[in-house]
Chains A and B, each alone.
Chain A
């Protein structure tokens, strides 16, 4: 994916049960539009957005997937080289939240810790019908090291924040990985450099330091 996987390009994949509002979230974020006459998504689609974070401009390649179980097997095609995943559930539907938990398990198992996870509880405009409590979802998200946001694609609430947080974390993660890799390449002299790099990134120096020592 020469064009999409460049230096400042980040890939985000949206996962979640059918009808939770994945497509609507992306369309609101990228085009600032909303329609309650959105068709079922049958295949994955792709939209991109350029954002500025501090001095960096980065391109987000956002992959929207189909939610139904039948297409579950296609998941790996989309998430395998993703930098971040946005897992969406419907706050008025407990089952969709359970599905998010399954996705988290699968992603951690298949892709590991390097993918940035963000969980979004969508449809907060339907607060009267709420079934998933905010505190419960937040607690869960924290336990798996994911961000949690509440959104409404209909009202345009919480979406900028969600993608911004995801983007920031992906940039951080990539810098960390890059420094780790260069540390590996530069062999025995590396550890000193790595420690310096990692402190500036705010933590996890021990982890990458020890990896660098191993090589």
Chain B
């Protein structure tokens, strides 16, 4: 954290580590990008995400828009409400029924559904909203959703199969033996990884892991999500090669909780991410 400040300060040629001067928004965007690739300190994360996605500028040029969308009616309200208590229910911020995080979650999802009548609300969005709300105020989260995430969601709504196919081909080219093993076991990787892609790893992975992925995702876009998926699969390649259909399914589903349980493993996977960077 302090390093981040020092580094930024050094890079912009100031001999100060004063928080105000080193505020990410005051740094050159390219520098922010460079730094963000290696992880954004938690306190800056919300603000850097807004900057990187362009949400910051959008919000400033449409000051009262969010409040308007909140007041409008949306036909998706029923479906949104249904998922409120089913989004990160074990996270204390979202665990209280009808209060705290759940209210914010409803507001943001509702405002989005009012803003984009065609897409409205779709499952998966709730997890994206939740991740954002853990870092920023509801209005800010709404604009990040509009500026960055929704393009991805819309893309996935009609192109998920294509992206999953890409993932399958990537496995074939990166690790042909694993691809063959999957085929022999009748295991279709696309069936069991759509959740990783649809929620950008927000569904069940440790939060720090998800944040870290998002830091880079905001710069490199959806390609990075596929790269991470491949990195994870490769990390477990040795294990997977020895498993049967059913065991493969269990292993893949167990990966998030293993990362929770085994911090060393999480570190190893994070190191893999660094290798993905240019």
Interface status of B124 (Cβ within 8 A of chain A): yes
Complex CA gap A91/B36 in Å reads 49
Asked if B123 lies at the interface with its beta carbon under 8 angstroms from chain A, I say: yes
A19 touches B184 (CB 8 A): no
- CB proximity of B264 to chain A, nearest CB, Å: 26
Q: How far is the CA of A39 from the CA of B87 in the complex (A)?
A: 6
Is A77 on the interface with B (CB-CB < 8 A)? yes
Query: Which residue of A37, A43, A70 is within 8 Å of B192 (Cβ)?
Result: A43
Which residues of B have CB within 8 Å of A142?
none
Which chain B residues (110-142) contact chain A, with CB distance < 8 Å? 122-124, 126-127
Bound Cα distance from A45 to B203, whole angstroms: 14
Q: How far is the CB of B151 from chain A (nearest CB, A)?
A: 17
Tell me if A164 counts as interface (CB < 8 A to partner B): no
A1 near B86 (CB under 8 angstroms)? no
Q: Is A38 an interface residue (CB 8 A)?
A: yes
Knowing A42-B199, A68-B79 are in contact, say whether A4-B246 is a contact too (CB < 8 A).
yes
A42 and B245 form a contact (CB under 8 A): no
Contact B186 A18 (CB under 8 A): no
A29-81 with Cβ < 8 A to chain B: 37-40, 42-46, 48, 66, 68, 70-71, 77
In the bound assembly, the distance between CA atoms of A4 and B246 in angstroms comes to 8
Q: Which of A1, A38, A71 contacts B245 (CB 8 A)?
A: A1
User: Bound state CA distance, A37 and B94, in angstroms?
Assistant: 11
B194 touches A70 (CB 8 A): no
User: How many residues on the B side are at the interface (Cβ–Cβ under 8 A)?
Assistant: 32
B138 nearest CB across to chain A (Å) = 20
A39, B198: Cβ atoms closer than 8 Å = no
B82 at the interface (CB under 8 A from A): yes
Residues of A114-173 at the interface with B, using a CB-CB cut-off of 8 Å, are none
The interface residues of chain A lying within 8 Å CB-to-CB of B246 are 3-4, 46, 48
Judge whether A3 and B123 touch: CB under 8 Å.
Answer: no
A207 at the B interface (CB under 8 A)? no
Q: Which residues of A contact B245 (CB under 8 A)?
A: 1-4
Q: In the complex the two chains form, is B191's CB within 8 Å of A44's CB? A: yes
Among A37, A42, A68, the residue within 8 A (CB) of B95 is A37
Q: Which chain B residues in 62-111 approach chain A with CB under 8 Å?
A: 79, 82-83, 86-90, 95
Q: Is the CB of B86 within 8 A of A43?
A: no
In the complex, which of the residues A3, A19, A42, A44 contacts B186, with contact meaning CB atoms closer than 8 Å? A3
Interface string of A94-105 (1 = CB under 8 A from B): 000000000000
Tell me whether B126 and A43 are in contact (CB under 8 A). no
Q: How far is the CA of A18 from the CA of B267 in the complex (A)?
A: 36
Q: Which residues of A contact B249 (CB under 8 A)?
A: 45-46
What residue of chain A has the Cβ atom nearest to residue B192's Cβ? A43
Q: Which of A2, A39, A66 meets B88, CB within 8 Å?
A: A39
B89–A70 CB distance below 8 A: no
Give chain B residues whose Cβ lies under 8 Å from the Cβ of A66: 123
Q: What residues of chain A lie closer than 8 Å to B95, measured between beta carbons?
A: 37
| A1-24 interface (Cβ within 8 A of B) | 1-5, 18-19
The residue of chain B having its C-beta at the shortest distance from the C-beta of A45 within the complex is B253
Chain B residue with the shortest CB-CB distance to A18: B82
Closest CB in chain A relative to B219 CB, distance in Å: 25
> Do residues A70 and B157 form an inter-chain contact, with CB atoms below 8 A?
yes
**Bound form: Cα–Cα A82–B66 in Å:** 46
B186/A2 in contact, CB under 8 A? yes
Listed from nearest, the 4 A-B pairs whose CB atoms lie closest are: A37-B89, A1-B186, A3-B245, A43-B195
B residues whose Cβ falls under 8 Å from a Cβ of A: 79, 82-83, 86-90, 95, 122-124, 126-127, 157, 184-186, 191-195, 198-199, 203-204, 244-246, 249, 253
Q: Would you list 27 pairs from A and B whose C-beta atoms are within 8 A, ordered by A residue?
A: A1-B245, A2-B185, A3-B185, A4-B245, A4-B246, A18-B83, A18-B123, A19-B83, A19-B86, A37-B89, A37-B95, A39-B86, A39-B87, A39-B89, A39-B204, A42-B124, A42-B194, A42-B195, A42-B198, A42-B203, A43-B192, A43-B193, A43-B194, A44-B191, A45-B192, A46-B192, A70-B122
